[in-house]
Amino acid sequence: MTAVRYELIKTCKQSGARLGRLHTPHGVIETPTFMPVGTQATVKTMSPEELKQMDAHIILSNTYHLFLRPGHDIVREAGGLHKFMNWDRPILTDSGGFQVFSLSEMRKITEEGVHFRNHLNGDKLFISPEIAMEIQNALGSDIMMAFDECPPYPADYDYVDKSLERTTRWAERCLQSHARPHDQALFAIVQGGMYADLRRKSASQLTSMDFPGYAIGGLSVGESKELMYGMLDCTVPLLPAQKARYLMGVGSPDALLEGSIRGVDMFDCVLPTRIARNGTVMTSGGRLVVRNAKHARDFGPLDPNCGCYTCTNYSRAYLRHLLKADETFGIRLTTYHNLHFLLDLMRNVRQAIAEDRLLDYRDEFFDRYGMKDNDRGF
Amino acid sequence: MTAVRYELIKTCKQSGARLGRLHTPHGVIETPTFMPVGTQATVKTMSPEELKQMDAHIILSNTYHLFLRPGHDIVREAGGLHKFMNWDRPILTDSGGFQVFSLSEMRKITEEGVHFRNHLNGDKLFISPEIAMEIQNALGSDIMMAFDECPPYPADYDYVDKSLERTTRWAERCLQSHARPHDQALFAIVQGGMYADLRRKSASQLTSMDFPGYAIGGLSVGESKELMYGMLDCTVPLLPAQKARYLMGVGSPDALLEGSIRGVDMFDCVLPTRIARNGTVMTSGGRLVVRNAKHARDFGPLDPNCGCYTCTNYSRAYLRHLLKADETFGIRLTTYHNLHFLLDLMRNVRQAIAEDRLLDYRDEFFDRYGMKDNDRGF
């Protein structure tokens, strides 16, 4: 018996989108879903109550960061990540692979695992598939991710081929060393860079093992949106229909829509929280930089079509003032709005799938409010 | 008719403390009370809902800061400070005097007012009693403060004498130029440095004019606590019993208790919010620096005797992690706790006055939990 079970409710008659439910030890997630990112055991500036208020079903936290600080032993002693951070809904933890590989000059990859330096203090550290499992078992997330290699973009064919083969071997080692399969589900990550046949090869190898869910990794790394959608088109159909599908690191409204249309169930991205800290918000009219001088005397809400806490109670003029004055409350308010915006979008996506009209909804989403092309990606 | 009316409910039979109610256009304040400071139209990191949850009756905001940014014209256009910041309970604004005089090298005092440079961009600016009233009338606070000079400490007798005379003349000009006496109350500020006879002189001059409340300014500026209490002892008895009394810039637990015992009704201080940002919290056992390494595996609450949101839901280990990782949510949680701690203290002070046992309560407060002398002031 697996800790997590995907239930397919229906498929959109107008697209490949799926309406589903992901059953986990900490509750049910309605899919397609967007997962706010809580890198260091907190979704930056937000309380758990606020995340529930905006109806976040699941959040993501980063294995690499928690391994470094406070250390997974401390989180285990606290009773696990849920208890440590006071979040009783589902948590997905990534494998740490993406962060470790992003260190570039500071790491060395071997078959055994990856040697790297702690970016906080320079200490030498090592993560292998077994250690990634040990850390995530200590964190106690509902969904763990297999330790993978995310190749750079661009990368040549041979490198990506060898890399995905290693990712497959590592996935097998993860499966073997996973100590709590009845409490925590382990998802594998399909790699293969921007090569369709390598994507198919990776998917084929990983689906031959029995994982309760599959992620598509190594996308949204600098390639064009068209190329990313092409990779989804050749990968998703190879993934089993009775398992959840997760597109990693994607959170712009257009990509959430296009990913859902192609049959993806789960997404995560730091985009909404990161741009919020710079004073940029997502609105039904497109991107809005509320720090700009033109909003100094603008007493309307960020988005007249939004019913979130921020838009209900605060003006652009007030938000601009807070951001200019480096007041944290301003970032709380823009973060709340951006997360609400994406979670609201996903609610509408689920509704549109239920009504077999997701392609129509996508077009309406962009056209109704006259959102410009270059605003779609934020 | 004045905008604000103080109602004396009873005097403690064991001390000079007063239980009262301050009636304002935005509601009733139970006194003695502590006012959280929202310098830039926000109590740092807190939402209005959180301030209400911890039962803050009134907050303070700073005229100088809002004059500079976003500018009082913008706040007026927004419909006033209450609407701008989404706070529908009472607000007190200071006069800007204290901040302007703190600029030391950057300002020049004349009988007309004070010339100074904007600390944000170096622009030349000027505030007079009339301008301080214009700004505060635009902000629309329930309680405005007269523009005063807060002399440095130490300062010689003649300087303080001349200064308090000017503060009296300025108070009269404030009274004359106050445009909204029916909506906003204007409090005068007693000065006189650390000279008992000058304190009496200032109090006598200002109480001869009819202000709806009186503040005691120029204390907690570096002098000993004993000296401060001595100044209260010679000033408070000269203030009219039917008017509110406000001790400016004081917020350590011992001073809140001693001030209440001496008949003060209102206090404000940045202390609880400022030390919270450095990871220091007020507890029933004294000062606690939650950033310290010894709390890394401490899974208990900040204060086992506290029922606040932070202490109910989060451990010292989690808070230490958040603060070490520069996560804003950690500061939200320590700020919440510290403000709750002082507001809870003031609730207990009011209860103790009602029961005629404030001196006993003061001793219990420090003794019961073994709070050390040097922890009392935080």
pLDDT in tens, A205-217: 999 999 999 999 9
Known binding-site residue numbers of A for substrate: 94-98, 148, 191, 218
Higher-confidence residue: B55 or B101? B55
Q: Which of B42, B70, B322 sits opposite A42 (nearest CB)?
A: B322
pLDDT score, position A101: 83
pLDDT score, position A323: 98
Q: For all residues of chain A together, what is the average pLDDT?
A: 95
pLDDT score, position A372: 60
Q: Which of B79, B85, B321 sits opposite A41 (nearest CB)?
A: B321
How do residues B299-321 score in pLDDT, each as one tens digit?
Answer: 999 999 999 999 999 999 999 99
pLDDT score, position B168: 98
Query: Does pLDDT of B83 surpass 60?
Result: yes
pLDDT score, position A41: 98
Per the annotation, the verdict on A373 as an active-site residue is no
CA distance A336 to chain B (A): 12
The CA-atom distances, in angstroms, between B306 and each of A216, B300, B312, B374 are 46, 12, 8, 21
* Preferred mutation among A43, A47, A339 to probe B, highest tally of B CBs within 10 A: A47
Average pLDDT over residues A40-47: 98
Q: How confident is the model at residue B51 (pLDDT cuts 50, 70, 90)?
A: very high
* Cβ neighbours of B318 in A, within 8 Å: 41, 78, 84-86
* Cβ neighbours of B328 in A, within 8 Å: 44-45, 328, 331-332
Judged by CB atoms closer than 8 Å, whether chains meet at A322 and B42 is answered as: yes
Q: How confident is the model at residue A162 (pLDDT cuts 50, 70, 90)?
A: very high
Judged by CB atoms closer than 8 Å, whether chains meet at B70 and A331 is answered as: no
pLDDT score, position B213: 98
pLDDT score, position B125: 92
Task: Name the interface residues of B facing A (CB cutoff 8 Å).
Answer: 40-42, 44-47, 65, 69-70, 74, 77-79, 84-86, 296-297, 299, 313-315, 317-318, 320-322, 324-325, 327-332
Known binding-site residue numbers of B: 94-98, 148, 191, 218, 306, 308, 311, 337
* Cβ neighbours of A334 in B, within 8 Å: none
How do residues A126-144 score in pLDDT, each as one tens digit?
Answer: 999 999 999 999 999 999 9
Judged by CB atoms closer than 8 Å, whether chains meet at B70 and A296 is answered as: yes
pLDDT score, position B373: 60
Q: Which residues of B have a catalytic role annotated?
A: 94, 268
* DSSP H or E segment with residue B128: none
Q: For all residues of chain B together, what is the average pLDDT?
A: 95
* Count of pairs with CB atoms under 8 A, one residue in A, one in B: 99
Q: Which of A40, A314, A330 sits opposite B327 (nearest CB)?
A: A40
**Rounded (5°) CA angle B116-B122-B123:** 70
CA distance B23 to chain A (A): 26
* Cβ neighbours of A36 in B, within 8 Å: none
* Cβ neighbours of A328 in B, within 8 Å: 44-45, 328, 331-332
Judged by CB atoms closer than 8 Å, whether chains meet at B296 and A74 is answered as: yes
Query: Does pLDDT of A166 surpass 90?
Result: yes
Compute, in degrees rounded to 10, the torsion defined by CA atoms A329, A331, A333, A336.
Answer: -130
The CA-atom distances, in angstroms, between A353 and each of A232, B49, B101, B216 are 19, 36, 64, 66
- Give the β-pairing of B107-109 and B114-117: antiparallel
pLDDT score, position A42: 98
Of all residues in chain B, the one with the smallest CA distance to A320 is B70
Of all residues in chain B, the one with the smallest CA distance to A299 is B78
pLDDT score, position A370: 59
Average pLDDT over residues A251-269: 97
Judged by CB atoms closer than 8 Å, whether chains meet at B296 and A324 is answered as: no
Average pLDDT over residues B221-231: 96
How do residues B53-81 score in pLDDT, each as one tens digit?
Answer: 999 999 999 999 999 999 999 999 999 99
Q: How far apart are CA A40 and CA A67, in angstroms?
A: 10
Q: To the nearest whole percent, how much of chain A has pLDDT over 90?
A: 90
Of all residues in chain B, the one with the smallest CA distance to A79 is B299
pLDDT score, position B119: 84
Average pLDDT over residues A234-247: 97
Of all residues in chain B, the one with the smallest CA distance to A71 is B321
Query: Does pLDDT of B371 surpass 70?
Result: no
Q: How confident is the model at residue B334 (pLDDT cuts 50, 70, 90)?
A: very high
Residue B8 β-bridge partners: B20
- Alpha helices for chain A (secondary structure H): 48-53, 63-68, 72-77, 81-85, 97-102, 129-139, 157-177, 196-207, 225-235, 253-261, 271-277, 309-313, 316-324, 328-354, 358-367
Q: How confident is the model at residue B99 (pLDDT cuts 50, 70, 90)?
A: confident
Average pLDDT over residues B184-210: 98
pLDDT score, position B35: 98
pLDDT score, position B104: 67
pLDDT score, position B372: 60
pLDDT score, position B178: 98
Check if the interface score ipTM surpasses 0.95.
yes
pLDDT score, position A378: 60
In sequence order, the 6+-apart residues with CB closer than 8 A to the CB of A329 are: A322, B42, B44, B45, B46, B47
Higher-confidence residue: A377 or A189? A189
* Cβ neighbours of A322 in B, within 8 Å: 40-42
Query: Does pLDDT of B375 surpass 80?
Result: no
Q: To the nearest whole percent, how much of chain A has pLDDT over 70?
A: 96
Query: Does pLDDT of A97 surpass 70?
Result: yes
Q: How confident is the model at residue B103 (pLDDT cuts 50, 70, 90)?
A: confident
Q: Which of B47, B74, B314 sits opposite A296 (nearest CB)?
A: B74
Q: How confident is the model at residue A107 (pLDDT cuts 50, 70, 90)?
A: confident
CB count in 10 Å sphere of residue B17: 29
How do residues B258-304 score in pLDDT, each as one tens digit?
Answer: 999 999 999 999 999 999 999 999 999 899 999 999 999 999 999 99
* Preferred mutation among B42, B120, B297 to probe A, highest tally of A CBs within 10 A: B42
Q: How far apart are CA A214 and CA A203, in angstroms?
A: 9
